Amino acid sequence: MKKRVVVTGLGMVTPLGTGTEKSWNALLEGRSGIRKITQFDASDFASRIAGEVPDFEIDRFIEIKEQKKMDRFIHLGLAASVFAMEDSGLKVTKDNAGRVGVLIGSGIGGLTTIQKYHKILLEKGPRRITPFFIPMLIINLIAGQVSIRFGAKGPNSSVATACASGSHSIGDAFRIIQRGEADAMIAGGAEAVINALAIGGFTAMRALSTRNDEPEKASRPFDKDRDGFVMGEGSGILILEEMEFALKRGAKIYAEMIGYGMTGDAYHITTPSPDGDGAARCMKAAINDSRISPDELSYINAHGTSTKYNDELETGAIKRVFGEHAYKLAVSSTKSMTGHLLGASGGVEAVISVLSIFKNIVPPTVNLTNPDPECDLDYVPHKAREMEVNIVMSNSFGFGGTNACIIFRKYPAA
């Protein structure tokens, strides 16, 4: 018998603000977090805009002596984890520590640290490299630092599957609890690569928007005039618990997680398969795992990156999976406001998906002023929509053709 898994805590740090409530309220207001880049001089770059976290005060979350041991992606992930753990009320004790685990992913990890110390190496030599260099940048140290912070001694791992990292992390944590290997998991994603090397690399791929004069309008999923994604940074963390464990301690339950699918395109290093086959099979796998029928779904938080191929192919895959019900679904891309947080996007969008169920409201897709004829679903344009939200799917598709879909349901089930 698979254990049932519920969501008891939520944490977000995004370009819309530090803290779950601040980010959620901005989403409902349709506000964009995209601005001119301030973290480095981007004047020579074709893309000079990004979604930077605007109000992050690191001293609130991490002691000064510990800050220097971590890359910024760990700073943001730790902060989101603090929010999520406080929200859940879960206390890690000597008795339960071995049953509480951490699974947090990142697509790229500490690239800013690599860039910084490569320069130091060239200019000042190897003796000036800090002994904390490696622990600062490797991806699994986000899970390591969070486990140390809370004393969680259960399963501890990280996922690095590009833009699907956050969703794969949550899905894998879900499986761990289903199998009975843990009672609770701190799960999600974190990313912070708004630096010259990353922006330069993605610009060289022609993946980024160059709408530099109108930053807030640059991320425009499903719009005919979209010209690429906008880089964002941040973290989204969920506390997942085995249902009986959560009920026994009197936890607040936001929603139940009921399904997880993962597939591969086996097609191209960056472009999705042209028939949307990998995305469609992933959504079907998550639906089958959930033991629901496709027409029970209320809302899809789309991957919706604001790139030509992704938006068209995801739309086609949704129609392939849901048939006529695709036109009855609410489908929105919150990347229109947050930008694309790469490995953190699945974590942030999972938090948003759960809140949409808990509060019965769907965030909008902003900047959808000239809809692409190939993208003809209900993308909840411009304004949030109050509606009954019972079951939500969140999609994440990454470079290399790696796909993840996760599904949440209202608790208790109607």
Complete domains list, the chain, with CATH: 5-248 (3.40.47.10), 259-407 (3.40.47.10)
To the nearest whole percent, how much of the chain has pLDDT over 70?
A: 100
Model pLDDT, residue 413: 59
- What's the average model confidence in pLDDT over 66-80? 98
As beta bridge partners, residue 209 has: none
- Kindly indicate the confidence band of residue 414, based on its pLDDT and cuts at 50, 70 and 90: very low
| Model confidence pLDDT, tens digit, residues 109-167 | 999 999 999 999 999 999 999 999 999 999 999 999 999 999 999 999 999 999 999 99
CA dist 302 to 235, 299, 328, 359, 392, Å? 18, 9, 15, 19, 10
- Kindly indicate the confidence band of residue 1, based on its pLDDT and cuts at 50, 70 and 90: confident
To the nearest whole percent, how much of the chain has pLDDT over 90?
A: 98
Q: Which of 75, 168, 282, 340 is catalytic?
A: 340
Classify residue 88 as left (phi > 0), alpha (psi -120 to 50) or beta.
Answer: alpha
pTM beyond 0.95 = yes
Cα separation, 284 vs 280, in Å, equals 6
Q: Which of 163, 282, 375, 405 is catalytic?
A: 163
Is 75 an active-site residue? no
Is 168 an active-site residue? no
Averaged pLDDT of the chain: 97
Among 67, 394, 113, 413, CA closest to 261: 394
Residues sharing a CB contact under 8 Å with residue 273, sequence separation 6 or more, in sequence order: 265, 266, 267, 313, 401
CB atoms within 10 A of CB 18: 21
| Model confidence pLDDT, tens digit, residues 281-296 | 999 999 999 999 999 9
CA dist 102 to 123, 177, 387, Å? 38, 11, 33
Q: Which of 282, 303, 375, 405 is catalytic?
A: 303
Cα separation, 16 vs 339, in Å, equals 10
